Amino acid sequence: MSSTGALLVAFALLAIGSILASSRFVIALERVGARLSLSEAALGLLAALGADTPEITSSITALVHHQRAVSVSVVLGANIFNLAALLGLGAISAGRITLHRSVVVLSALPALFVALMTLGVEHHGISRWPAAGLLLGLLVPYTLVLEAPRRVLRALRVPSALSSSIERVVRQEEHDLEGAIAPDIGRPRDFLLASGMLVIVVVASVVMERVASTVGERNHWSTFVIGGVVLAAVTSLPNAVAAIYLALRGRGAATLSTAVHSNILNVLFGLVIPALFVGVGEQTRTVSSLALCYLAITMIALAFAYVGRGLGRVTGSGIVLAYVACIWYLTHL
């Protein structure tokens, strides 16, 4: 077997190990969250962060090795893949994902904000420190509203009519997540299990990034193919499997929430916060186009979901085709 073949076999084994460890990590993390009496929505956000560990780790690893184009491609490629796999394939697999328009609007606001901020950062229209501040300024109150909507909305002096509407939407998401997550109450061993699985995921993701970069360089692959296609898809598989499972169980709000939360966390921890320490790097045509594709597919997916009060096989196929078209275009730049 050639050295490249051996590396590909190693990559496949690492990917399988990372996926299995990620699933165990998320389960243990949910149990720890249940032990702390977190709400279903907060547990969902915690699970999204756990499932995002492979792509965030791969992105940071590439950044450490001065491969910023690969790093950015992993994050944005993973976010686009999330929309195609979690929402597109989820709708195709389930036949339909039913969503209340209010749920779509609540998810659309942070999703579009993050996509626009990403485009601004990659086009150097927004500097890194304001971007980090704005994203944290969104994520913190958004998380608090999910955790305790009535108390937080009252503290923010939100008008009662609007407050009631937001609270109903959050409760709908809570209902969808309840039973879809439903973790057992955690024990001390779950904390140890989560810690051990996290170590495995991080190590596997670091090595996967190095293997993919080595194979790509030997075969003259572009940085986009290495990061935005190969690493982005492989590291996002745990999220895709979880979302398709939720879609098949009719948990529409939970499926949309998984996609939105995952993308927000990817951008914050895999792109914006690292940029505070290493800068945003040189703008390239591929990275700029990738950021634009991310915004466009986000808008397409949310528009389909809002107009159709959910996603069916036709609109789900449309999201997947938009992803394929984006990948085709970027690989031919």
**Among the listed ranges 106-120, 144-158, 221-235, which one has the minimum average pLDDT value?**
144-158
pLDDT of 298 strictly over 90: yes
| Residue 201 in tokens | 């995921």
Q: What is the CATH number of the domain that holds 251?
A: 1.20.1420.30
Between these two residues, 109 and 190, which has the higher pLDDT value? 109
Q: What is the DSSP string of 38-106?
A: --HHHHHHHHHHHHTHHHHHHHHHHHHTT-HHHHHHHHHHHHHHHIIIIIIIHHHHHSEEE--HHHHHH
Average per-residue pLDDT for the chain: 79
Q: What is the DSSP string of 261-308?
A: HHHHHHHIIIIIHHHHHH------HHHHHHHHHHHHHHHHHHHHHHHT
Contact by Cβ (8 Å): 32, 184:
no
Contact by Cβ (8 Å): 40, 48:
no
Of the pLDDT bands very low, low, confident and very high (cuts 50, 70, 90), residue 180 is: low
Tell me which residue range forms the domain holding 244.
3-331
**Among the listed ranges 30-34, 198-202, 237-241, which one has the minimum average pLDDT value?**
30-34
Angle (CA) 45 50 56, round 5°:
110
Question: pLDDT tens digits, residue range 23-58?
Answer: 777 777 767 766 766 665 666 667 677 778 888 888
d(C-alpha 333, C-alpha 320), whole Å: 20
Global pTM?
0.84
pLDDT of 197 strictly over 90: no
The number of folded domains in the chain is: 1
Inter-CA distances, 23 with 15, 142, 287, Å = 12, 25, 30
Which of 20-24, 85-89, 209-213 shows the highest mean pLDDT? 85-89
Of the pLDDT bands very low, low, confident and very high (cuts 50, 70, 90), residue 313 is: very high
| Residue 216 in tokens | 């790509």
Q: What percent of the chain has pLDDT over 70?
A: 79
| Residue 133 in tokens | 């501040």
Contacts of residue 332, Cβ cutoff 8 Å, sequence gap at least 6: none
Q: What is the pLDDT of residue 318?
A: 95
Of the pLDDT bands very low, low, confident and very high (cuts 50, 70, 90), residue 108 is: confident
d(C-alpha 5, C-alpha 9), whole Å: 6
Label residue 123 exposed, middle or buried (CB < 10 Å: 0-12, 13-18, 19+).
middle
Mean pLDDT over residues 197-216, rounded?
A: 84
Q: How many residues does the chain have?
A: 333
